[in-house]
Amino acid sequence: MRIRSKWNVKNRDRTPEEIAGVVAFIAWRICTQAVLDLENNNFQTDTQVQRLAIIWEFAAFLIHVTDRMMFERMDEEERAVFISAMAKAMAQTMQDNMEDFLGHGHYKPELINTLNLRMNEYSKFSYSEESGPSFPMLRYFGECITAVMGERQKKWVTTHIIDIEAPDAIKTLKRGISNLLPDEETNEDN
């Protein structure tokens, strides 16, 4: 998947909120592409609401993975601002999409509740900078996706998420983040 992840105006300090907005956009693109990939691999989705539920499960996972990636890059306060801004941006995009399909409503509180629940659950699993999410975290993510999928090939969804969708999503997310926030060591060496 191709993403734009370079700043138009270089050599300018950016706030964590600005960076989070761009990372949220990249993550949203990854989430929507994942739904298309699932459908193209013959996994069943029947309604737009079901597709949005899958997108939100991917969003929760990617927000959590982003939080883990930022652990070494940002201090605790800056990271909290960053992740909060990313979550708010993604929740607003989801709210807008839900209104398009379900009509006017206050969907965001339920989205945030689901996100908080997933963040709490994912925090129980290990993650390393070298290897990424642990197998149990990936399995839990796959099971969350499986719970909202259609019946056709449902028994294979978790395996597909673990083996294909999650690694691809993480790879694209890492590439986007590294382009937006190059390591300081790299900048000093150049």
Quote the CA–CA distance of 66 and 25 in Å, as a whole number: 13
* Burial status of residue 70 (CB atoms within 10 A of its CB: 0-12, 13-18, 19 or more): buried
**Sign of the dihedral defined by the CA atoms of residues 32, 171, 44, 121, in that order:** negative
**Residue 176 phi, psi (nearest 5):** -65, -45
Tens digit of each residue's pLDDT, the chain (190 residues): 455 545 455 656 667 788 899 999 999 999 999 999 999 999 988 899 999 999 999 999 999 999 999 988 888 999 999 999 999 999 999 999 999 988 999 999 999 999 999 999 999 999 998 899 999 999 999 999 999 987 777 889 999 999 999 999 999 999 888 877 766 433 334 3
pTM score: 0.88
Which two three-digit tokens encode residue 104?
């006017």
Residue of 156, 165, 17, 181 whose CA lies nearest to 86: 17
Name the residue ranges covered by the structural domains of the chain.
16-182
Q: Which of 179, 2, 148 is nearest to 61 (CA)?
A: 148
